[in-house]
Amino acid sequence: MRFADEFRDPHKARVLVNEIARLAAPLAAARRRPLQIMEVCGGHTHTIFRYGLKTLLPEDSIEFVHGPGCPVCVLPMGRVDDCIALARNPAIIFTTFGDAMRVPGSQGSLLQAKANGADVRMVYSPLDALRIARLNPQREVVFFALGFETTMPSTALTVLQAQLEGIGNFSLFCNHITIIPTMQAILDSPDLRLDGFLGPGHVSMVIGNRPYDFIAERYRRPIVVAGFEPLDLLQSLWMVVKQLAEGRCEVENQYTRIVSETGNAAALAAVNRVFELREFFEWRGLGSIDQSGVRMREEFAALDAEIKFGVPNIKIADPASCQCGEVLKGVIKPRQCKVFGTACTPEKPLGALMVSSEGACSAYYQYGRIDVKDRRPTPTTPA
Amino acid sequence: MCLGIPGRVVAIADVDNQLGIIDVCGVRRQVNLACVIDEAHPLQSCVGAWVLVHVGFAMSRIDEEEARLTLELLQQLGEAQSELDAMREVDPRTLEEPPPPVNDGVGAGAGAGAGAGAGAGTREHDIHSTGL
């Protein structure tokens, strides 16, 4: 595939791994612990595991901390319940991205609701949901909008298109979240030990690099906006470690073929036209974070499913056995969760981190089992 | 949903609604081009361009020149490292080390019945070792 295969060259990867190891070793020795680098985006977590990058790097000098950047994973149970309440309304065709179908709420997932007769349809694009609305004028079509700034422009443009065409039976259940307050919350956490960040490539494609300035200036941490191929990630990690080695804290951009300094003006204009910040938004595992979510502006109330139909909006606690919150905060690794791989698997997830392919637990489950370094020694019984 | 897929715009489908057709590895789909057009890049200029597509929207043009520069930088880093490796190889201490007899042993052992094949195998092994 164009612009993918070129960034998977094993020889170049080897060169980068050597350079990272050489630069990181003295830094880790000085700290008496590995450098802790957070990849904010779930897509990066996926690449790290899929290509075994974690096993290529020296574990005593580099440790990846998996960030909260998987929108499906941080969706609280109460919001899934709200979706199901909407989907059970016989007047409604409930449309959603595939990732969200299996996220468990307190009364099952959207997939289970569909099996029980609710009209839930999986779509690739919000424009597909709009097409369903055009084709079914006698039904109400609700699109479940979620994601960070990456997907926000697409739902904003879909809403504007619906308004333009005067499609009255289409509405949005808005659960978009924003990256900057989230990173701020991570940086403000009292037990922060992170040495640097790999910044989310596709969020930055929309918002640009400038919003991260405060991370370098105020919190004195390097951040490198990274692409999603293995070489992209290794090069970005090398850039972070190089900054640390040279005592610099800057915002750098590795993903220059996609990300510009100022982001995408057309996309940002659409987002600002349709959405405004919520005072706070509830996250699974992380609790409430100020100004971390958006809602639709009043002007678009007729297209806002939350206003049009009302949702129960009940706060539901995560199941007691599930430790998604601790994993999200980096307190424990997925494997250390009590139910990892036993009661909670990608086929039958208990927690959201096991659902999406971008979730840390799912990545550990799918690819991490071949990670010998990560395996704790188990007592062997003589045969 | 956050992972985009690169595709090439092959046609404009609807000028009013800024829709185009993209080709992704032979699969064609209608996508919205609103986020990749501006005054400097009108709709018609999209045809032939590589774009990154997210959930039915082309979200960014892929800058081929930047992609080339990134790869070039990595190439240079690799060349610098091989040069360093080469310098290390002329270190007098390494010259003192006896030639690795292991390869010959393996080659001879494996090549008990096939002489030429074993020779080729040994050479491959050598190349592999220096490559590391």
B38 domain-assigned: yes
Q: Does the structure show a pLDDT above 50 at A96?
A: yes
Asked if B23 and B7 touch (Cβ cutoff 8 Å), the reply is yes
Residue A178: name the closest of A256, A77, A68, A306 by CA: A68
Question: A319: which strand partners?
Answer: none
Count up the domains in chain A and report the number. 1
Question: What is the structure's pLDDT at B5?
Answer: 87
Residue B41: domain span? 5-62
DSSP three-state, residue A198: strand
Residue in the structure block whose two tokens are 């042993």: B105
In this prediction, residues A46-56 reach a mean pLDDT of 91
Shared domain check, B76 and B50: no
> Which of these three, B23, B43, B62, is where a domain ends?
B62
A137 domain-assigned: no
A273-320 tens-digit pLDDT: 999 999 999 888 778 899 999 999 999 999 999 999 999 888 888 778
Whether residues B81 and A41 touch (CB distance < 8 A) is answered with no
Measure the CA–CA gap between A355 and A366, rounded to whole angstroms.
Answer: 11
A124 domain-assigned: no
Shared domain check, B82 and B101: yes
Nearest to A3 among B1, B50, B69 (CB): B50
Q: How confident is the model at residue B91 (pLDDT cuts 50, 70, 90)?
A: low
Question: What is the structure's pLDDT at A25?
Answer: 97
Asked if A254 and A232 touch (Cβ cutoff 8 Å), the reply is yes
**CATH code for position B20:** 2.30.30.140
B83 domain-assigned: yes
Shared domain check, B48 and B71: no
A54-65 tens-digit pLDDT: 899 999 999 998
Shared domain check, B45 and B29: yes
Shared domain check, B81 and B34: no
B49 domain-assigned: yes
Shared domain check, B10 and B57: yes
Shared domain check, B68 and B53: no
Residue A210: name the closest of A277, A268, A153, A266 by CA: A268
B124 domain-assigned: no
B119 domain-assigned: no
3-state helix, strand, coil in chain B (%, to 5): 50, 25, 25
Asked if A266 and A293 touch (Cβ cutoff 8 Å), the reply is no
Closest CA of chain B from A155, distance in Å: 9
A245-268 tens-digit pLDDT: 999 999 999 999 999 999 999 999
Question: What is the structure's pLDDT at A358?
Answer: 79
Interface contact A5, partner B, CB < 8 A: no
ipTM: 0.89
Question: In this structure, how many other beta carbons lie within 10 angstroms of the beta carbon of residue A156?
Answer: 27
Whether residues B3 and A43 touch (CB distance < 8 A) is answered with yes
Closest CA of chain B from A32, distance in Å: 28
Written as one letter, the residue type at B91 is D
Query: Which of A15, A176, A274 is the best substitution to test chain B (most B C-beta atoms within 10 A)?
Result: A15
Question: In this structure, how many other beta carbons lie within 10 angstroms of the beta carbon of residue A222?
Answer: 24
Residue A90: name the closest of A131, A120, A123 by CA: A120
Closest CA of chain B from A272, distance in Å: 14
- Chain A's closest residue to B24, CA to CA, is A1
Buried residues in B17-47 as b, exposed as e (16+ CB within 10 A):
ebbbbbeeeeeeebbbbbbbbeeeeebeebe
Whether residues A264 and B59 touch (CB distance < 8 A) is answered with yes
Shared domain check, B74 and B57: no
Interface contact A3, partner B, CB < 8 A: yes
DSSP three-state, residue A192: coil
B129 domain-assigned: no
Shared domain check, B54 and B11: yes
Residue A357: domain span? 324-367
What stretch of H or E contains A79?
Answer: helix A77-88
Q: Does the structure show a pLDDT above 50 at A235?
A: yes
Count up the domains in chain B and report the number. 2
Written as one letter, the residue type at A229 is E
Interface contact A6, partner B, CB < 8 A: yes
Measure the CA–CA gap between A337 and A355, rounded to whole angstroms.
Answer: 15
- Chain B's closest residue to A271, CA to CA, is B35
Q: Does the structure show a pLDDT above 90 at B47?
A: yes
Shared domain check, B81 and B53: no
Shared domain check, B103 and B87: yes
Question: Rg of chain B's alpha carbons, rounded to an integer?
Answer: 27
Measure the CA–CA gap between B81 and A17, rounded to whole angstroms.
Answer: 11
Window 57-116 of B: residues touching A by CB (8 A cutoff) are 57, 59-60, 62-64, 66-67, 69-71, 73-75, 77-78, 81
Q: Which residues of B touch A45 (CB under 8 A)?
A: none
Residue in the structure block whose two tokens are 């080469």: B86
Shared domain check, B70 and B49: no
Give the predicted TM-score (pTM) of the model.
Answer: 0.85
A347 domain-assigned: yes
Whether residues A3 and B54 touch (CB distance < 8 A) is answered with no
